[in-house]
Structure 1
């Protein structure tokens, strides 16, 4: 295993059946993202970005090709192995937060640890510490409905990071926020990414966000068209 590579995609293709037709969404995609690297995936709507992110997050699977996550090939992994990889290696940050409304902020952040079998008291203690890191400790007992968009995204970031994953996948994490709040959230995310040396992959339509990433990948027509600093 090359322990400097977090994501390695080799010849990844993916098709879907729709209205009795086969639609090829990804076509022989190849790229790598190093451990601790930041990367933006950009491209027009319908280009395959979301499908690519789902495959990277082990929520969908390619028809052909191989995907290695932290050196583990997932091509022939069993469902329990994939679930373990998702829980141990990946944290998700979504555009619309995906917080559970009936749970408090503290309980939402503790949830990944509870899924791993961490006892409730320890999980809540660690969740409170993480909320302090993102400036939300004073909202720990609130429900998500009582938070602003920026506050919800801070909670979502805390939830994604609490399990100390190797990889954070962020799908338009600033897309629902005003420009000032978006800047604050991005600065927070990059600060924690650098501190924990976690690999950060962001799908974004925002050129300013993409330019802050170390690597940029453009997806167009299901293909990785360009890579590197000259993408945008």
Structure 2
């Protein structure tokens, strides 16, 4: 089991229909990521990076090819099965944070645990521990509108990690932050990744960030054109 690739794609393709025409977004992608590995997905805008990440995160389904998640094919999985895997195994971090404005910081972080059916008291307790880990415990009662961009991203990371996922998917997680804050956020993400031995995939256009990952996958024109070990 330990030698198994966490993520394994063979010949994966995806097209979208627009104005009655099929437009291929990714084509014949072969892509493997090992357990506990860090990997950057880089490439120009519109190259298919986010589509690839969405398929990896089971938010989208490939039209063709094979995708094994933790050694299991997801080709015939029903929507509720895919939702259960996302809920239990995957943590998402987005460029725009995606925090719920009406909830406090601690309630936002507790949300994935509430979705799993954990009671309010225990979910808030776990959320507070995670907020301490990302240096945001003193802002637990704040609303997202009262936070800076860097603080929002720390909260978003806490929310992604509170359920102890096996995989973190980060789509341009530092894209809307200044350089200093971006560097702190990345350092935080990598230190937690190492501590928990989670598999981490980051979509980024930043070569500096990409170089800090163990591997770099370059997507261009919907094709993975380069794999750097």
* TM-score for the superposition, normalised by structure 2: 0.98
Instruction: Measure, in 2, the Cα distance between the counterparts of 1:92 and 1:104.
Output: 19
Q: Which residue of 1 aligns with 2:12?
A: 12
SS at match of 1:23: strand
Q: Which residue of 2 aligns with 1:192?
A: 192
Q: Which residue of 2 aligns with 1:130?
A: 130
Tell me the matched-pair count. 229
Instruction: Measure, in 2, the Cα distance between the counterparts of 1:188 and 1:50.
Output: 23
Please give the residue correspondences for 1:138-217 in structure 2 after superposition, counting only pairs within 5 Å. 138-217=138-217
* CA positional deviation for 1:159: 0.2
Q: Which runs of 5+ in 2 are unaligned?
A: none
Q: Which residue of 2 aligns with 1:39?
A: 39
Q: 8 Å contact 1:2–1:71 — kept in the other structure? A: no
SS at match of 1:164: coil
Q: Which runs of 5+ in 1 are unaligned?
A: none
Instruction: Measure, in 2, the Cα distance between the counterparts of 1:138 and 1:185.
Output: 18
Instruction: Measure, in 2, the Cα distance between the counterparts of 1:10 and 1:169.
Output: 20
Distance 1:193-1:26 versus aligned 2 partners, 3 A rule: same
Please give the residue correspondences for 1:21-32 in structure 2 after superposition, counting only pairs within 5 Å. 21-32=21-32
SS at match of 2:12: strand
Instruction: Measure, in 1, the Cα distance between the counterparts of 2:101 and 2:63.
Output: 36
Instruction: Measure, in 1, the Cα distance between the counterparts of 2:164 and 2:6.
Output: 14
Q: 8 Å contact 1:3–1:70 — kept in the other structure? A: no
* CA positional deviation for 1:22: 1.2
Instruction: Measure, in 1, the Cα distance between the counterparts of 2:12 and 2:4.
Output: 21
Asked if 1:219 is matched to 2:219, the reply is: yes
* CA positional deviation for 1:4: 3.5
Q: Which residue of 2 aligns with 1:92?
A: 92
Instruction: Measure, in 1, the Cα distance between the counterparts of 2:66 and 2:120.
Output: 38
Instruction: Measure, in 2, the Cα distance between the counterparts of 1:2 and 1:70.
Output: 10
Over the aligned positions, Cα root-mean-square deviation in angstroms equals 0.9
SS at match of 2:224: strand
Instruction: Measure, in 2, the Cα distance between the counterparts of 1:145 and 1:72.
Output: 41
* CA positional deviation for 1:96: 0.5
* TM-score for the superposition, normalised by structure 1: 0.97
Moved over 2 A (4+): 1-4
Q: 8 Å contact 2:4–2:71 — kept in the other structure? A: no
Instruction: Measure, in 1, the Cα distance between the counterparts of 2:187 and 2:32.
Output: 24
